[in-house]
Amino acid sequence: MSTDLTKSIQKLGDILRSKVDSADISTETLPQEINKTTNKGKSSTKIAKIAEKKLLNFITDFNIEQFELFPSREYPTPLSRIPLFTPSQRNKARELEIEKTKDTDFIRLNSTWDKGGVYKSGPTLTVYDEDTFIGLLLLRKSALKGKPSKMPSKHMNHTGSTISNNNEKDVLVHSGYFLISELETKIRGTKPPKAGWGGEALKNRRDSVERLGATILKFTQPQNLDKYRGKQIQIVSIDWVSSDKEAYYYFEFHPAIALWLTEFRTYIDFGIRRQLTPFGKALHRFLSSQKSNKFYKKDWEDILVAIGFNGRTSEAKRKGISELNKLVKLGFIKSGSIEGNGRSEAFVMHISF
């Protein structure tokens, strides 16, 4: 994070905290488990409410249309069939990406379903980060329509004027706001312990949020979005106001992600996903994008490439059979098998939905 951005964030945090004591703000709409106080005696919930009010002021001042969102199980279909989130341990995944970026800054996310080239730049992402991504999808609160240069993410951390183009076309973004403890609760799907989520768990989740915010995708032929061909897309922009122990986050999903969530989406049962291993989560996410088929079969190697598995095919087959059996018990599929011997006959996955 740049020094200027850090100073801007700290300045905005100081401004918000200075207003807390005099603010008359109701906290009853926020979850009880995040209604905590920081070591300066400032209610993090109050800071959150002030930040929310600031966001609403942006929307009013810049003539942005706002629509309430009711997110459920939507997931961008183009991201369900490329190896963006790998089912690997982070250290191993990072080693592989370092090797791939020896001569380039962008990694190509190959798969059979990639029709025109998808490239990624930024931190290594695993299925853990996909859990974070899904948590943000569930925490979307508003769709905002207006000029790109007038969106809150362009103004959240500075007070200077933003140069805008009168010929700018309106875009639609999906946005929301949260405390890390609230995000952790949403992802786990259970109430936190009485003492709250542990410090290490919250740190890991915070790091994951920042990795997502630092990820850039480049599509040479984006599905259903020709206007973004060859352009770099920040999946989600992240801004925050911090106190000593809590950080209140505002996020915006890029217009491309918002459009896919509206017009080109896959439905993922997050309750089922929570009961799977990282490998199972990646496989479940992929299969969720194929449920329009009553029967589905595909070369197992192609699927492993699409979900970003790096390892022996025999190991993947063992994991795959185990997770397919679990998906049958959970009612996601009627049957699932991986046939072939991997030598004279290629491994092929057979699914009945």
Phi, psi of 164 (to 5 degrees): -120, 155
Q: Per residue of the chain (353 residues), what is the pLDDT tens digit? A: 444 434 443 443 443 343 333 333 233 333 333 333 333 334 566 666 766 676 777 677 667 888 889 999 999 998 999 999 999 999 998 998 888 888 888 888 988 887 657 899 999 999 999 999 999 999 999 888 887 776 776 666 554 444 455 567 888 899 998 989 999 999 999 999 999 999 999 999 999 999 999 999 988 876 666 666 667 889 999 987 655 556 688 899 999 999 999 999 999 999 999 999 999 999 999 999 999 899 999 999 999 999 999 999 989 999 999 999 999 999 999 999 999 988 889 999 999 99
Q: Which amino acid is at 14?
A: D
**Residue 75: count of CB within 10 angstroms of its CB:** 21
Could you tell me which of 8, 12, 18 has the C-alpha nearest to residue 57?
12
Q: What pLDDT was estimated at residue 174?
A: 95
Instruction: Output DSSP code: residue 148.
Output: G
Q: What pLDDT was estimated at residue 65?
A: 84
Rg (CA), the chain: 22
Residues of the chain with CATH 1.10.10: 271-353
Instruction: Output DSSP code: residue 193.
Output: P
pTM score, two decimals?
Answer: 0.81
Helices (H) and strands (E) in the chain, counts: 12, 14
> Does domain 271-353 fall into CATH 3.40.1350?
no
Q: What pLDDT was estimated at residue 53?
A: 73
Supply the DSSP string of 277-292, one letter for each residue. -HHHHHHHHHHHTTTT
Q: Collapsing DSSP states into helix, strand and coil, what is residue 101?
A: coil
